[in-house]
A and B are shown apart, each in its own frame.
Chain A
C-alpha cells in the first residue's frame, strides 16, 4: 500500500474476510472468495463495471491464481491461467517439468488414506513428504526410512485434515508428494518476467542447511557468495522452469538447490517473496521497493533500475522458539542496536499461540540487516537474534 501511495495509484483491496468499511467504501474494498475462482471472477467483473481498474495483482500463492483468472476474464491476461495454476500446485508443477531440461526431484503423488506400505518399501531414502497445496514449507517432512515415512504421512494427514484455511485446501485435496531428497545447498531467486525474459532481482543464499526433518526457513542473504558459475546455472534453471511452465510476465520466486549434479528446481511460484521479507530488497539508489517494481510492471509503467542496491542485505525469519502461548518477548531494543541491523519486527502478538513447523507456518518476527558484505549482514542478524528472548506458556489443550 505504501508503494501504491508513492506512485499515486488508487487501490481496490480484495480480501477474503470482509473489511468493515466495504459497504461505505465499495470503490476501495471488495470481498472475494479465493477458493471459488469462478464466483470471484464474476464479482470482479461487476466491480470493474462500476469502478474500472487497470490491473489485478495477487501477492500470495492463492491470490495470484485468482488475479490471473480475473485478468484473463477481462481480456488482458499476461500469463496463461494453467501456467499459474501449475506454479501453485506442486504436483502439476512436477508433472510439467518432469522429463524436460529442468532437473527436478523424482516424485510420486499419493492421497491421505491410501495404503503406502508397498510404496514405502520400494522407495530410496532419504525422501521428503510434501503436501501438494500448502505453502511456507508447512507439512514438509524428511524421512530417512520406511518407518519415518509412515510416521510423516500420518502427521501430514493430520495437518491437512486440520487445515481450516479454505484457501489452502480449496479442493479439499489430501494429496501429497513423496519425492527424493535433494542434498546440496539451497538458494532463493527473486525475479521479474518481462515478455518471457527473466530479470534476476536477487539471488539469496540460505546459509543454514535445510536438511530437515522439517524445512522452516531461516536466513536469506544477498548477494550470493556461491561461485559465479553455479549462480549462473541456478539462474538458468529458474529461467527454463518459468518458460516450461508457460509463465511470461510478472514476479517469480524460486527455491533451488545445487549439488554435484548441477542445479535443481525445488519449487517456483508466480508471485513475489512474502510481504515482510520483501523489505530486505531495495533497488536503484536504495529508495525503490520490490512492490514498486511489481506495481509498475503490472500497470505497464516505465520500469526503474532493476539493479539491486550495492549494499549486502539479510533477513532472518525468526525461528519459532517453541510451542505455546507467547507471554512476553525481550531484547528487541538491544537487537536493533547491533551494528548493521536495520530493523527487528516482532509480528507475533502477546497471547498468540506459536506453532513450530511442520504444523505451523508463521514466523514470530523478522530481523533485517544491511551492510557492506554478505558476511557482515549474516553475522548481524545472527547476533541480533542471539539476544532475543521469548517467554511462552503452555497452550490450553
Chain B
C-alpha cells in the first residue's frame, strides 16, 4: 500500500531536497535533466508533472529533487511524497534503465567517469582519509558528478566546505568539463563525523 511507504525529506536548500525512501527505488543511479528524459519512467514522469521541478537524481533509495519555484519544501515536499508513493505502488518499474546514449555523449560521460575516478582515488580520497573520510564516485551523467561521502565526512559539520571548496574546486581545476556536482550522501545517518555540526 502506498501509505506504508516511509519517506524522509532532507532539504539541502530552497531548490534542492533529498527524499530517502524506505525501499529501493532504482538499482544504480539515474539523472533526469529535464522532463523529456522522464518518458518511460513513471516516477520521473510524475515528479516532472509537479510545478517547478527541474531535475531529478535517483540513486538506490534516495531521490534528489531540484525545483525552481520559491515554494517551501514543507508544501512542495508533500506533493513529491505523494507522487513517489503512487509510482512505487504501481506494478511497473518506477525508473526505466537509461536508454543507450548517442555515441559522443556516452563516450564523454564514460571518459569523464574514468578521469573523475582517477582524481578521487589519487588526490581526493588520500586527502579526506586524513580525517577518516571517503568520497565515492557514484556516477557521471551529462557531465554532472554524483558522489557519496562516508566515514568522517558523513554528517561532518564541514562537509559542505569539503564538497564546495575542496572537491568541486579540484574538479574545476583539473576537469573543467565537469558541469556540476551532486552530493547524494544521507548526512543524517553519519555516526562518526570528524567535526560536529553547528551549535545553533
Report the minimum CB–CB distance from A316 to chain B (whole Å).
Answer: 12
A180 at the interface (CB under 8 A from B): no
Distance A20 CA – B197 CA, assembled complex (angstroms): 18
In the complex, A5 has a CB within 8 A of chain B: yes
Minimal Cβ-Cβ distance residue in A for B174:
A24
Residues in B neighbouring A24, C-beta threshold 8 A: 123, 127, 166, 170
CB pair A341–B74 under 8 Å, yes or no, is yes
> Does B188 sit at the interface, judged by CB under 8 A?
yes
Question: A333-B8, A336-B9, A349-B190 in contact; A25/B70 too (CB < 8 A)?
Answer: no
Judged by DSSP, the binding face of B is: mixed
Question: Is the Cβ of A317 less than 8 Å from the Cβ of B164?
Answer: no
Q: Is the CB of A25 within 8 A of B74?
A: no
Q: Are B161 and A350 in contact (CB under 8 A)?
A: no
- The count of residues in chain A whose C-beta lies closer than 8 Å to any C-beta of chain B is 46
Residue of A nearest to B133 (CB): A20
Residues of B within 8 A of A362 (CB): 196, 199
| Known A13-B161, A333-B6, A343-B11; contact A276-B70, beta-carbon cutoff 8 A | no
Report Cα–Cα, A19/B157, bound state, in Å. Answer: 12
- CB < 8 Å: which of B13, B128, B166 contacts A25? B166
In the complex, B48 has a CB within 8 A of chain A: no
Rounded to whole angstroms, the CA-CA distance of A289 and B7 in the bound complex is: 27
| A347–B197 CB distance below 8 A | yes
Q: In the complex, what's the smallest C-beta–C-beta distance from B185 to chain A, in angstroms?
A: 13
Shortest B104–chain A CB gap in Å is 30
Q: Which of B156-172 contact A (CB under 8 A)?
A: 158, 160-162, 164-167, 169-170
Chain B residues numbered 2-46 whose CB sits less than 8 Å from any CB in chain A: 6-9, 11-14
In contact, A342 and B161 (Cβ under 8 angstroms)? no
Contact between chains at A1 and B164 (CB < 8 Å): yes
A80 near B: Cβ within 8 Å?
no
The reply to whether B130 and A20 form a contact with Cβ atoms under 8 Å apart is: yes
In the complex, per-residue mask of B108-147: 1 if CB is within 8 Å of any chain A CB, else 0 = 0000000000000001000110110100000000000000
Residues of B within 8 A of A13 (CB): 161, 165
Contact check, B165 vs A29: say whether CB atoms are below 8 A apart: yes
Interface centre among A21, A287, A289, A362 (most CB of B within 10 A): A21
Cα A347 to Cα B167 with chains together (Å): 23
Closest A residue, CB atoms, query B170: A24
Task: List A residues 2-60 near B (Cβ within 8 Å).
Answer: 2, 5, 11, 13, 15, 17, 19-21, 24-25, 27-29
Please, which residues of chain A bring their CB within 8 A of the CB of B198?
274-276, 347
User: Is B49 interfacial (CB 8 A cutoff)?
Assistant: no
Do A277 and B200 touch (CB < 8 A)?
A: yes
Are A352 and B196 within 8 A (Cβ)? Answer: yes
B123 CB → nearest A CB, Å: 7
Expressed in whole angstroms, the Cα–Cα distance for A135 and B199 within the complex equals 10
Find chain A residues with CB under 8 A from B193 CB. Answer: 349
Is A361 an interface residue, CB under 8 A from the partner? yes
A17 touching B195 in the complex, CB below 8 Å, given contacts A285-B70, A286-B72, A370-B72: yes
Smallest Cβ distance from A18 to chain B, in angstroms?
9
**Interface membership of B94, Cβ < 8 A:** no
| Other-chain residue from B70, B166, B167, B192 in contact with A286 (beta carbon distance below 8 A) | B70
Would you give the shortest CB distance from A294 to chain B, in whole angstroms?
15
- CB contact between B14 and one of A21, A277, A287 (< 8 Å): that residue: A287
Q: Which residue of A lies closest to B190 (CB)?
A: A349
For residue B197, which residues in chain A have a CB less than 8 angstroms away from its CB? Answer: 276, 347
Interface string of B177-190 (1 = CB under 8 A from A): 00000000000101
A395 within 8 A of B: no
- B173 contacts across to A, CB distance below 8 A: 25
CA distance A103 to B132 in the complex (A): 50
State whether B165 touches A19 (Cβ < 8 A).
yes
A-B contact pairs, 27 of them (CB 8 A): A1-B160, A11-B164, A15-B158, A19-B165, A19-B166, A20-B131, A20-B166, A21-B166, A21-B167, A21-B169, A29-B165, A135-B199, A273-B200, A274-B200, A275-B200, A277-B200, A286-B72, A289-B14, A317-B200, A336-B8, A343-B11, A347-B198, A349-B155, A349-B190, A349-B192, A363-B199, A370-B74
Inter-chain pairs besides A19-B158, A27-B169, A276-B200, 4 sampled, C-beta below 8 Å: A21-B165, A21-B170, A341-B74, A349-B192
